[in-house]
Amino acid sequence: MSKSADHVVASSDQMALNVGPAHIDIAYRRSGNTEAPPLLLIMGGAAQLIHWPDPFCGALVDAGLQIIRFDNRDAGLSTHIANAPPPDLPAVLAGDFSSASYTLNDMAADSVGLMDALGISTAHIVGASMGGQIAQIIATEYPDRVRSLVSMMSTTGSKSVGQVAPEILREVFGKPVGKSREEYIQHRVMAMRAVGSPDFPSDVAELTARAGLAYDRDHDDTALARQAIATVATGDRTVRLRRISAPTLVIHGLADRMCDVSGGRATAEAIPGAELVLIEGMGHGLPPGLRPRLASLIADFVWRVERRSNN
C-alpha cells in the first residue's frame, strides 16, 4: 500500500493517539510502500517535516524505501511547549539549566513514541543537524529499535567540535527576524542562503515558498530558543556514542558553517565502525544539486544493511 499525507497523532477522528509520557502530539507524513524498510527522518532546529524536500524523499521512495517525516515538538503542527519557563540561553550556556523545558532525550522519546503509534518495531534512523543528535540518542538509548543510523551535518554535543562559524552568528542569529510574515520569509531565506552550499546553489524561489509554508503551518517566536536550550542541556554524548552497535553512516559538508565539519569527524570517530562521507562544497542544507547524491548514499547504505541482516 502506498500513501503520502499529513496526519496528526492526536485526539482526532483520524488517529486518537499521542506519544510519550508527556502526551506530545506529533504531526507526520508517511510515503512509500508501508511494507518497505522504514526510514524515520528527523529534522533540525526550527525546521518542520516540510524541510525534507519532496524530491529528496521521492528519490528514497523510488529506491524502494518507506519514509516517515514529522514535526518535532515545538515545530510545525506538533505540540508546542507553551506553558514553560521563558528560554534563557545565556544562562544555559553559563551552566544554569533551570529554563530548559526538555532535552534531546525527550525528543528522542517522541520519535520512538511515533514509531510505536505507527506499529514500527525497528527503523533506519536518519537525522539532520539537531535531528542527527536526536538520532544518535535513539541509537544509544533504544538500540533494539534501530536498524541503522545516518547522522548528517551533525555533531557529538562536545563544545570542542561542530561549532557555528562566528560570521554565521552575526549574519543569522545577530539580526532580528521581524514580526510579519514577509519579514520572517526574508530572514529565513537569508539564513538558509548564508549557511548553504557554495558549490550547490540554493533555489531562492523554493526557499521562499517553503518559508511561507512554514510560517503558515506554525509561527512560534520562542520555539527555536527552547530547542536550542534542549540541545545545550543534553550535553556531550561522545562517551555514549562509543556504545552504538548499529551500522552507521556519517555525512558532512566540508563547507558547513552552521556545524563545523569537526562535528561530523568526531561523530564518526566515536561510533565504532562508522562510515564517514565528507562532501566538498556542501554546507548546511539539502540543495537541489546534492539531493540525488545524498539520497543515493543513504539508499545504498540502507540496502547494504538490509541485505546483511537478511543473510
pLDDT digits (tens, 9 = 90+) for 85-135: 888 888 988 889 899 999 999 999 999 999 999 999 999 999 999 999 999
Which 3 state secondary structure label does DSSP give 209? helix
What is the CATH number for 283?
3.40.50.1820
Task: Give me the number of domains the chain comprises.
Answer: 1
What sections of the chain are H helices per DSSP? Answer: 54-62, 89-93, 104-117, 130-141, 166-168, 181-194, 204-217, 223-234, 238-241, 261-270, 291-310
Q: Residue 84 has what DSSP assignment?
A: S
User: Considering only 73-77, 130-134, 171-175, 291-295, which range has the smallest mean pLDDT?
Assistant: 171-175
Q: How confident is the model at residue 21, as a pLDDT?
A: 54
Note the pLDDT tens digit of each residue in 211-258. 999 999 998 989 999 999 999 999 999 999 999 999 999 999 999 999
**How high does pLDDT run on average in the chain?**
91
Q: For the chain, give the number of residues.
A: 311
Q: How confident is the model at residue 129, as a pLDDT?
A: 98
pTM of the model: 0.93
Q: How confident is the model at residue 32, as a pLDDT?
A: 95
* Full strand arrangement of the beta sheet holding 26-31: 5-9, 26-31, 66-70, 38-42, 123-128, 146-152, 248-253, 275-279
Q: Is the pLDDT of residue 18 over 80?
A: no
Q: How confident is the model at residue 90, as a pLDDT?
A: 85
**Domain extent at residue 94:** 5-310
Taking residues 2-12, report their average pLDDT: 42
Q: How confident is the model at residue 22, as a pLDDT?
A: 64
